Amino acid sequence: MIFARVLLSFTLGFVSQLWSQGRSYGRSMVISQQGIVSTSQTLASQAGAQILARGGSAVDAAIAANAVLGVVEPMMCGIGGDLFVLYWEAKTGKLHGLNASGWAPKGLSPAVLAAKGIKTMPPDGVHSVTVPGAVEGWKRLHEKFGRTAWDDLFGASIHFAEKGFPVTEVIADSWKNGHRRLNVTPEAARLYLPGGKAPAVGEVFRNPDMGRAMRLIAGDARDFYKGEIARAIVETSTRLGGTMTLDDLASFTVEWVEPISTEYRGWRVYELPPNGQGMAALEMLNIMNAASDASPAGPHSAAEMHKKIESMKLAYSDLYAYNADPKFAPVPVPALLSRDFARKRAARIDPKQANCKVPAGDPVASDTTYLTAVDKDGNIASVIQSVSAGFGSGVGVEKMGFLLHNRGSGFTLDPKHPNLLAPRKRPFHTIIPAFMQKGDQRIGFGIMGGPNQPLAHAQFVSHIADYGMNIQEAIETARFTKRNATGCDVTIESRVPLATLQALSERGHQIKITREHTSMMGRGAAVLHDARNKVNYGAADSRHDGSAEPEPINAK
């Protein structure tokens, strides 16, 4: 009997010791005194890290990585899309915001569409196209914060476009799902369905036309807006019955904006102001903060998840009612982010019952690429770039190898809504980069996926601020998502405990369980700079093909 007790005690102690040595997430953080680039595709992360090794800044690395992503993730991003950036300048301690989203053509209006019998904004095709802002955004960032020569930033993207790259797993799945949009125009199908089908995992894909476009941009970024590429865009649009003109492109400028922020559990969290949806992430955090303290039972307890789901619905209902281009319609951002308003919204949460009737507009679907870079000096670029839906508008720019985005589908034709389509107006945008800081800790982060982004940002912040997770665990741990503000449907990864799913179901949530690591939850990345110790940390989501790559050193 004594022997059995000793054996049991030893066994329990041994099991406890083994348990303490494990962890609930898969990858380790990348930790370095040099810079780090984290993206959703390893070739892009590597290209950015190589730029850092050649003396480039975080902005230089981010541009190089983004250019590669446009080649290797063409359904997600590229030069035919828009760009938003938060940039932490270590020397001045200032956070800069850049809105490089394009406007509607001057000739596109509700009346023009009505004359064509179009009663709702097209989800694709030439009338969903607005001016792409990404290239102009890259150029302005480089002028302000770049260190290396502009043309040096595009060597890797040109190489992979012209010589080819093996298609990776997550991207291959997305490619297979893009057949409908890739058949919108013959040029799109020619470019991205070689032999009439999407490339398989490991198949080498080449796009020499895009290599040519990248060479033109490397020579002069303004070629995209005033040169050969601009003429190709307009000729393509005109041939398809579109309204884009050379003046629409040549007159476009990006906008430096002041980030908006809130404080959550001691962390200052930043997003960009409208026309993006970052205010929804901040309002959700405010509502969560006002509703209750974090549950001691953990982030995947029923009480904690219920609070977050209900907070998300309230924040999104406000987002869809008010968000628009602030140059055309007043957006009450200060009121929406006030503590008093958060308390009023939090009071509507029933801790025992899901609310299925929160009024909302129609969300906009989106496919996006997020990346982030930190250099050895502590500068951080938090960058998000997109062609909107998978393969954008489906409009291939002839002989240039890229697709135009369908960001114009984010407008509405409701004359009473602030997001009504108008010439030279920017549409509702889903893509949002983020940044947070506390003391000497500064984090650039983002999580992609259309309407998923604000709620994913809020979960990431809570994982760090409420539960002390590191950035890898916070980006990788199980999440929920929901595509709209109304209804009780919610999608949750199967790693969430069954007891929690049961308790949420009893509260009235209609749960769809997905696989353990699904890109439906968005694909994220994060970097952290510890200013006190001069150490950088990088994290890459298990839901994508990418990695966080440290800056290589010259070991000679």
Residues in CB range of 555: below 8 A, 6 or more apart: none
**Which pLDDT belongs to residue 258?**
97
Token representation of residue 118: 């179009």
> To which residue do tokens 């109304």 refer?
486
> Cα separation of 284 and 508, whole Å?
20
**Dihedral through CA 342, CA 345, CA 347, CA 350, nearest 10?**
-130
Q: Which is higher by pLDDT, 153 or 9?
A: 153
What pLDDT digit, counting tens, does each position of 296-331 carry? 999 999 999 999 999 999 999 999 999 999 999 889
DSSP, collapsed to helix, strand or coil, labels residue 185 as coil
**Which pLDDT belongs to residue 82?**
97
> Cα separation of 169 and 159, whole Å?
21
Decide the pairing of beta strands 510-514 and 489-493: parallel
Q: Which is higher by pLDDT, 542 or 436?
A: 436
What pLDDT digit, counting tens, does each position of 34-49 carry? 999 999 999 999 999 9
For CA atoms 31, 34, 39, 42, the dihedral sign is negative
**Which pLDDT belongs to residue 363?**
42
Residues in CB range of 503: below 8 A, 6 or more apart: 302
String of b and e for 421-432 (b: at least 16 CB within 10 Å)?
bbebbbbbbbbb
> To which residue do tokens 């064509």 refer?
116
Where does the pLDDT of residue 23 fall: very low under 50, low under 70, confident under 90, or very high at 90 and above?
confident
Q: What percent of the chain lies above the pLDDT cut of 70?
A: 94
String of b and e for 200-232 (b: at least 16 CB within 10 Å)?
eeeeebbbebbbbbbbbbbeebbbbbebebbeb
DSSP, collapsed to helix, strand or coil, labels residue 31 as strand
User: Per-residue pLDDT averaged across 333-345, rounded?
Assistant: 92
Other beta carbons within 10 angstroms of residue 256's beta carbon come to 12
Where does the pLDDT of residue 56 fall: very low under 50, low under 70, confident under 90, or very high at 90 and above?
very high
Say if 365 falls within a structural domain.
Answer: yes
User: Per-residue pLDDT averaged across 221-247, rounded?
Assistant: 97
The average confidence (pLDDT) of the chain is 92
Q: What percent of the chain lies above the pLDDT cut of 90?
A: 85
Please determine, for residue 467, whether its predicted confidence score (pLDDT) is greater than 90: yes
pTM for the model = 0.92
Say if 123 falls within a structural domain.
Answer: yes
Is residue 244 within 8 Å of residue 232, measured between CB atoms?
no
User: Per-residue pLDDT averaged across 122-145, rounded?
Assistant: 97
Q: Please state the three-class secondary structure of 244-307 as a single string.
A: CCHHHHHCCCCEEECCEEEEECCEEEEECCCCECHHHHHHHHHHHHHHCCCCCCCCCCHHHHHH
Active site residues: 368
Among 27, 29, 24, 73, residue whose Cα is nearest residue 371: 73
Name the E strands within 82-203.
Answer: 82-89, 94-100, 165-166
Structural domains in the chain (count)? 1
With residue 525 as reference, give the H or E element that holds it. Answer: strand 524-530
Please determine, for residue 555, whether its predicted confidence score (pLDDT) is greater than 60: no
User: Per-residue pLDDT averaged across 450-460, rounded?
Assistant: 93
Where does the pLDDT of residue 8 fall: very low under 50, low under 70, confident under 90, or very high at 90 and above?
very low
**Which pLDDT belongs to residue 521?**
86
Say if 532 falls within a structural domain.
Answer: yes
Residues in CB range of 254: below 8 A, 6 or more apart: 98, 99, 100, 133, 136, 137, 140
Say if 4 falls within a structural domain.
Answer: no
Could you please report the per-residue DSSP string of 402-452? Answer: EEE--GGGG-B--TTSTTB--TT-PPPB----EEEEETTEEEEEEE-STTH
Among 295, 165, 150, residue whose Cα is nearest residue 224: 150
Is residue 385 within 8 Å of residue 134, measured between CB atoms?
yes
**Which pLDDT belongs to residue 522?**
84
Among 498, 538, 493, residue whose Cα is nearest residue 514: 493
Say if 508 falls within a structural domain.
Answer: no
Please determine, for residue 1, whether its predicted confidence score (pLDDT) is greater than 70: no
**Which pLDDT belongs to residue 21?**
57
Please determine, for residue 556, whether its predicted confidence score (pLDDT) is greater than 80: no
Say if 240 falls within a structural domain.
Answer: yes
In this structure, what CATH number is given to the domain that contains residue 530? 3.60.20.40
Please determine, for residue 276, whether its predicted confidence score (pLDDT) is greater than 90: yes
Provide the residue range defining the domain that includes 262: 26-488+521-556
Among 436, 460, 433, residue whose Cα is nearest residue 543: 460
Say if 143 falls within a structural domain.
Answer: yes
Where does the pLDDT of residue 179 fall: very low under 50, low under 70, confident under 90, or very high at 90 and above?
confident
Say if 14 falls within a structural domain.
Answer: no
What pLDDT digit, counting tens, does each position of 482-540 carry? 988 889 999 999 999 999 999 999 999 999 999 988 888 888 999 999 999 999 999 99
Is residue 36 within 8 Å of residue 373, measured between CB atoms?
yes
**Which pLDDT belongs to residue 517?**
87
